[in-house]
Amino acid sequence: MGIEIERKFLVSGDAWRNDSGVLYRQGYLNRDKARTVRIRIAGGVAFLTIKGKSTGATRAEFEYPVPLEDAQALLALCDGPLIEKTRYVVLYAGHRWEVDEFASDNAGLVVAELELSAEDEAFEHPAWLGAEVTHDARYFNSNLAAHPFSAW
């Protein structure tokens, strides 16, 4: 079984910005609190992802590649508007950060995610890191599809 241990933070400033951005489009086939089923196109590749309910910063995660044409058709079946964002990879102090700059109804929101090997794993906080929102459900991508940042 796949496990994801992820911490999520708001971002301030542009010191994190680089040229590694990739456009992401994703939608949700199921946004139940006990499980989410997501289809995602990242650049020219696509994935189907199933995530379980979070316990702390940990949850089950299963991700499978799917043909791009299938992913495009599945996006049309998604519940609610799609999430559109550009993801940047930022290497900092031995960790790989993923910084998501949201567009469309979530424009103005920038969030950094860090996957860890344990919930208590230590890591250095970059200067551009803001408040932690790991446990704030408003920032879950599945919730941003239903309740976009622009409507807060």
Catalytic residues: 28
* Alpha carbon distance 30, 10 (integer Å): 25
For residue 106, the Cα-to-chain-centroid distance in whole angstroms is 13
CA distances for 137 relative to 8, 67, 71, 90, 126, angstroms: 11, 30, 26, 24, 23
Bridge partners of residue 69, in order along the sequence: none
Sign of CA dihedral 11, 60, 78, 69: positive
CA distances for 132 relative to 8, 54, 65, 80, 129, angstroms: 6, 16, 30, 26, 8
